[in-house]
Structure 1
Amino acid sequence: MAATCALAGVAHAQSARDYISIVGSSTVYPFSTTVAEHFGKANSKFKTPKVESTGTGGGLKLFCGGVGVQYPDMTNASRKIKSSEVENCAKNGVKEIVEVKIGYDGIVVASSKKTKPMSLTRKDLWLALAKEIPEPGTGKLVANPLKTWKDVNPELPAQKIEVLGPPPTSGTRDAFVELVMDEGCKDFPAIKDLAKSDDKKAKAACGAIREDGAYIEAGENDNLIVNKLVSNLNALGIFGFSFLDENLDKIQGETIDGVPPNFENIASGKYPVSRPLFFYVKKAHVAVIPGMKEYIAEFTSEKAAGNEGYLADKGLIPLPPAERKQVAADANSLKTMTP
């Protein structure tokens, strides 16, 4: 009964909104807007979807707010939806969610092309960006005193640590913590010892990013970080590979653990900092918001998401062919996530 009322609410509001509303990840944003533009041009009976960059966490919060025209129809995500977010969705009546995996992306650490590139390890990045690090000699965790990259590693330049990166609401930040910070701290005996006595505390120590100015939260606009790197030759920036790929005339990606961030290395799995990308669909809206099925079909088509698709030109790393075919079949049949 409640579901029927909610759907009736969407149907009643249909006259108030005749376009698809999409929120979420700044990393998926360029891919989503490209699909929206192609979709708008190819389908004269549907309006071009409205895509907003709110960050993965922010997008899922809006998406899970409820069923009805005032809530988004889809949300982009640069990480998988968390169980707590699924629970929040269900609590607000959003019970049927379609998960669509669109491809892979690498998280890059980039700098201006006018500077000499650095060869970094995940251990270097953890030491540079962690809130607390082990004190030499005692192993006790202390507030991070390191000021330059040379302090981190004698082989790196005596350049001030200044990294522009995503805020806590960003899926890129979540993935960076998981793939870089959590991995970079593993070899320190102090962290290993802490993990034996209090695993939760050790995980928190690994993932906590310093707040003393060395790491600067630069919002959800990754193009803004690119522009800041061009004007600030000392700074490094953290964002998705597609933003590097589109600005290779101005910026360069730093090598991480000996592997440069390029299309081939991310596609093959050699590059250590890569993650899957998704979008999520509110099934309750599909029957009443015009064009949702057609947009899903466009996004999962070979011409968009295939090896030679227009999203690969934008920097998306396509899924392997068999997985791509399965994802498209599940998405187009509106197969919902199992609880």
Structure 2
Amino acid sequence: MLALAGGVTLLAGIQPAHAARDYVWAAGSSTTFPFATRVSEQFARKTGMKAPKVESLGTGGGIKLFCSGVGDNFPDIATASRRMKRSEFDACAAKGVKDIIELKIGFDGIVVAVDKGGPDYNFSTSALYLGLAAKVLRYGQYQPNPYKTWPEVGAGLPRGRIQVYGPPPSSGTRDAFVELAIEAGALKYPGNQALKKADEKQFKEKVDPLRKDGWIDAGENDNAIIQTLTKTPGALGVFGWSFLEENMDQVKGASVNGVKPSVASISDGSYPLSRSLYIYVKKAHVGVTKGLREFMTEFVSDAATGRAGYLKDRGLIPLPAAQHVANKATMGALTPMARPAA
């Protein structure tokens, strides 16, 4: 028997449940992974504490693990390349994960990339819908996608068969691409507009699934997509702007609706496939997990996510100054988020 403070005893070899970890644990988006690991390295250098453990599981996978419970067996942080859904927030609450702190850390864009030596393409969102949706609306009916090559979809597109490498269903990048490209393209057609207005759930069921004979899941490894594009003429890749910026010696981004992806076009929203990046923190773990408050303070600091912060060098597009200041205030006060509207 082991005697503990307060007269509590434990059998030898039995540890207290949920003993606090001596390191921070973050899991989630592959897009935010390089940003989180950079902050982790800086945090460890500044504080002398253990570098936080950062896992790339995809946004959906990270949030699911984050929402599975409170205590040292579950992540302190979920990183995400989209906002937490209401269904995920409710799943968290059902497992006792409440008082979640939401922090928007910056912006990213989703790019449709080609080999650097390939032509400069301009994809409309309607062409992305017609080329990549599992079913398309034709003659008033939703039919299995009949298009096998890009020229069948429209002029000025790649000459070969439809072959796009992108992230899996667990990825926030894929979720955002479906919303910003596929759904937006579908809504160029009155029939889809009417369906969404009448029944949004059915609209998503009809429009959202990606085809399996032209979209190839490449896992959470964006490096694998880069290598494929350089070796496969005519192939396209879908991933985050920050990764494109790191690999501009090998690949380039196509225009979407006539706008090329850039820091300026993503931050001002003129590039159609722009999105926000998020961090979610368990308030219940702050003050329990060693270094959690300090790590998150570093993440929202001027040095990291400010206009001239070191994450900008990694490809993060910073928030406007007022939003950055609000972010720091949210973290300082540990203000929980409201339940998402959708």
Q: TM-score normalized by structure 2?
A: 0.91
Letter in 2 for 1:35: V
What is the match of residue 326 of structure 2? 326
Is 1:13 aligned to 2:14, yes or no? Answer: no
1:139-178 alpha-carbon deviations (Å, 9 max, x no partner): 3221111111101102323211100111111111111111
Measured after TM superposition, the shift of residue 91 of structure 1 is 1.2
Runs of 5+ unmatched residues, structure 2: 1-14
In structure 2, distance between residues paired with 1:338 and 1:10: 33
Change (3 A) 1:276 1:196: closer
Q: Contact between 2:18 and 2:73, CA under 8 Å: does it hold in 1? A: no
Does the residue aligned with 1:245 lie in a helix, a strand or coil?
Answer: helix
Q: Distance in 2 between matches of 1:301 and 1:175?
A: 26
Which residue pairs with 2:89 in the alignment? 86
| 2:291 matches 1:291 | yes
Within 5 Å, give how 1:138-153 maps onto structure 2: 138-153=139-154
Question: 2-side partners of 1:47 and 1:222: how far apart?
Answer: 27
Cα deviation for residue 195 of structure 1 reads 4.4
Return the letter of the residue paired with 1:154. Answer: A
Letter of the structure 2 residue corresponding to residue 113 of structure 1: K
1:42 aligns with 2:46: yes
More deviation, 98-107/327-336: 327-336
8 Å contact from structure 2 (residues 121, 156) kept in 1: no
Distance 1:22 1:306 in 2: 21
Cα deviation digits, residues 237-273 of structure 1 (max 9, x gap):
1111000000000000000001000111111221111
Q: 2: CA distance between counterparts of 1:196 and 1:84?
A: 21
**Off by >3 Å, runs of 4+ in structure 1:** 9-12, 192-200
**Is the contact made by 1:10 and 1:69 (CA closer than 8 Å) also made in structure 2?**
no
Matches within 5 A, 1:152-191: 152-191=153-192
Structure 1 SS opposite 2:312? coil
Alignment of 1:174-253 (within 5 A): 174-195=175-196, 198-211=199-212, 213-253=213-253
- 2:309 is equivalent to residue 309 of structure 1: yes
Q: Which moved more, 1:242-251 or 1:232-241?
A: 232-241
2 CA distance for matches of 1:248 and 1:53?
Answer: 23
For each residue in 1:31-62, what CA deviation from the matched residue of structure 2 results, as whole angstroms up to 9, or x when unmatched? 11111111111111x10001000011100110
Q: Cα gap change, 1:69/1:196 in structure 2, threshold over 3 Å: closer, same or farther?
A: closer
Structure 1 counterpart of 2:98? 95
Q: Aligned pairs, how many?
A: 325
The percent identity for this pair of structures is: 48
CA shift in 2, pair 1:277/1:106, >3 Å: same
Distance 2:83 2:16 in 1: 27
Listed one character per residue, the Cα deviations across residues 101-132 of structure 1 (whole Å, up to 9, x for unaligned) are 10111011101112112111101101100111
SS for the counterpart of 1:134 is: strand
Q: Which amino acid aligns with 1:53?
A: S
Equivalent residue in structure 1 for 2:54, among 51, 55, 65: 51
The Cα RMSD (Å) is 1.7
In 1, the alpha carbon distance for the partners of 2:64 and 2:174 equals 16
Distance in 2 between residues matched to 1:207 and 1:271, nearest whole Å: 21
Q: Do residues 28 (structure 1) and 29 (structure 2) align?
A: no
Q: Equivalent residue for 2:7?
A: none
Q: Say whether residues 1:60 and 2:66 are aligned partners.
A: no
Q: Deviations over 1:162-208 (max 9, x none)?
A: 00111111111111111111110112244245446654323322212
TM-score, structure 1 as length reference: 0.92
Deviation at 1:307, TM superposition (A): 1.2
Q: Name the residue aligned to 2:5.
A: none
Greater alpha carbon shift after TM alignment, 289-298 vs 182-191? 182-191
The verdict on how the C-alpha distance between 1:315 and 1:268 changes in structure 2, with shifts beyond 3 A counting, is same
Equivalent residue number for residue 276 of structure 1: 276
2:24 aligned partner, one-letter code: I
